[in-house]
Structure 1
Amino acid sequence: MYRFALRPWWIVSHVVVLAIVVAFVNLGLWQLRRLDEVRESNAQLAARIAADPVDVATLLPAGDDADGAAAEDRRVTATGTYRPDEQVLIRGRSLDDAPGSWVVVPLELDDGRVVAVNRGWIRNDGRFSEVPEEYRAVPAGEVEVEGLLHTSQERGTLGATDPDEGRLASLARIDLDRLDAQVDGDLLPVWVQLTTPEPGAPDPSPTPLGLPDVDDEGSHLSYAVQWGIFTVIALVGYPMILRRAARERSGRHPDDAPGLDDPDPDDEPRAGDPRLDTIAP
């Protein structure tokens, strides 16, 4: 009944379906691996957030050539004086689906080095190409800030670019190499994301970004389940297609028993059978 499934066209169909099933299984496993990576990253982030903040000058001592990558996501404090004349706008940064920008201000530390501080988010629907006047004010004098430490942001494959020369009022990202080209002094290879407003912050001030959600695992588990469902559909649906094709070719359901009215092949008249004489020409 299923001999038709050995025909070339059906063999090609079998191979295609098998390839699809293998692809679905691998995509589901890939999503599960990504879920494990996210969970591991979240656990590491949670541990670093739970740790007591460390002074950034102590974490990265003067004369140390460390690139700061080992300190990523560490809670830190920094004490110094803001340089409002050197602040820049970081374009294209949304918050809760609202368009906006970040305001980054260099902070001169007590030892003379400088660290870039992301004071937070402001709404910007494209009107501002530099920090607007109402957000340029910073706490006067020495200030202590607290936040998360990050390394320089890098351009993606299709990311925007900034001119290499000149003093820029806005940047596409917190590119510390580009920022260092227009900031006086020794700029640290890390930047601080403010998580709480500074003491004495003027009103209005940018909105601090706060701490990241360490419980967010993304959509990897739901995607893995979807690929699993697609795999089951393929494994169940394709045999049903074969069964239907076989039924259409046989003219009866594969589970049907031979009917009582079906002709008996052994009872067919043969040459010389007298019954043939009764058949009209």
Structure 2
Amino acid sequence: MRFLLRPGWIALVVAVIGFAVAAFTLLAPWQFGREAQRDAQQQAIDAASTTAPVPLAELVPPGGSVTSAVEWRQVTVTGTYVPDGEGLVRLRVVDGQPAVEVLTPFRTDDGRLITVNRGSAAAASGATVPDYAAPPAGPVTLTGRLRLDETDPQGRAAIETDGHRQIYASDSRALAAATGLPLEPGFLQLTADQPGVLRPLEVAPTAGGDAPFTNFSYALQWITFGVIALVALGLFVRLELLQRRGPDRRSERAALRRALAGDDEPGPR
């Protein structure tokens, strides 16, 4: 097995074992974790869909923030929109077309400033900013779902385009930084038929709370790939051993034939 010490074989063994270790300890657990996270999220959505809305203060006290324990719960608030602090979330897609999400600050009757996601608006062909309806003026009562802030992985700052403030995630913190308003963390995602709603963001609870096992199947695939890589390495090593033993066995058989034929008898003295 000294051939395994050759550079080419060392590289192959290291690559295969490294891939298998990554598949078993990183990639498969990552997909299992995503499946568990997605299943928990779907269960929260399903539970919230069957729970009646409650006043915001019952789930998020003044000055508090939305937590994962109350995300997707439906709440009601009364107050007025603050359109001067509005921002657009860039780089969204609706029905395959470029779109934005519209975030509008909302001042509640008890003085809180929260962020309301009024839904999406698709841009016309060639337009950078779509036309969309302004929020209603005056006091209104809203019903929506509590959501955790999104995060822009690149941490990009807000920009101004065609007179509109634009950010890269549905994030009250980014909107607060761009406007200077003391917005509470998290946002309210409007449901259909609410004052000021545009095209509501889709939330589709599953029947019975069963989420598809997409990530679970991906995890099993990574485990399978790791096993296949190790088995293939073993087969390559065995094939190399058989090929190297072939010439030795032929030499042994030839020597045996010579011995049987008397070729190895000592010559005359």
TM-score range, shorter chain: 0.7 to 0.9
Contact 1:24 1:227 in 2 (8 A): yes
Aligned-partner residue type, residue 78 of structure 1 = V
Deviations 1:77-104 (A, max 9, x none): 2223334454332222223443210122
Contact 2:158 2:178 in 1 (8 A): no
User: Which protein is bigger by CA-based radius of gyration?
Assistant: 1
1:67 corresponds in structure 2 to: 65
2:134 corresponds in structure 1 to: 137
Find out whether 1:150 has 2:147 as its counterpart: yes
2: CA distance between counterparts of 1:174 and 1:10?
Answer: 50
1:236 corresponds in structure 2 to: 231
1: CA distance between counterparts of 2:15 and 2:88?
Answer: 52
Q: Report the alpha carbon displacement of residue 264 of structure 1 after superposing the two structures with TM.
A: 5.4
Bigger Cα displacement from structure 2, 115-124 vs 229-238 = 229-238
1: CA distance between counterparts of 2:188 and 2:137?
Answer: 19
Q: Report the alpha carbon displacement of residue 10 of structure 1 after superposing the two structures with TM.
A: 8.1
1: CA distance between counterparts of 2:102 and 2:14?
Answer: 56
Instruction: Identify if the C-alpha distance between structure 1 residues 10 and 72 changes in structure 2 by more than 3 Å, giving closer, same or farther.
Output: same
1:122 corresponds in structure 2 to: 121
1:106 corresponds in structure 2 to: 105
1:34 corresponds in structure 2 to: 34
Higher helix share: 2
1:263 corresponds in structure 2 to: 257
1:108 aligned counterpart, secondary structure? strand
1:223 corresponds in structure 2 to: 218
Q: Report the alpha carbon displacement of residue 233 of structure 1 after superposing the two structures with TM.
A: 1.8
- TM-score norm. by structure 1 comes to 0.71
1: CA distance between counterparts of 2:178 and 2:31?
Answer: 43
Identical-pair percentage: 31
Instruction: Could you tell me which runs of 5 or more consecutive residues in structure 1 were left unpaired when the two chains were aligned.
Output: 275-281
2: CA distance between counterparts of 1:141 and 1:251?
Answer: 91
Bigger Cα displacement from structure 2, 95-104 vs 205-214 = 205-214
Deviations 1:124-164 (A, max 9, x none): 367244x63xx2333454433222112444432x242126x
Instruction: Identify if the C-alpha distance between structure 1 residues 268 and 241 changes in structure 2 by more than 3 Å, giving closer, same or farther.
Output: farther
Find out whether 1:208 has 2:200 as its counterpart: yes
Pairing partner for 1:194 from 183, 190, 194: 190
Deviations 1:1-54 (A, max 9, x none): xx4556555873545543433233223234223323332343344334432211
2: CA distance between counterparts of 1:269 and 1:88?
Answer: 97
Contact 1:115 1:192 in 2 (8 A): yes
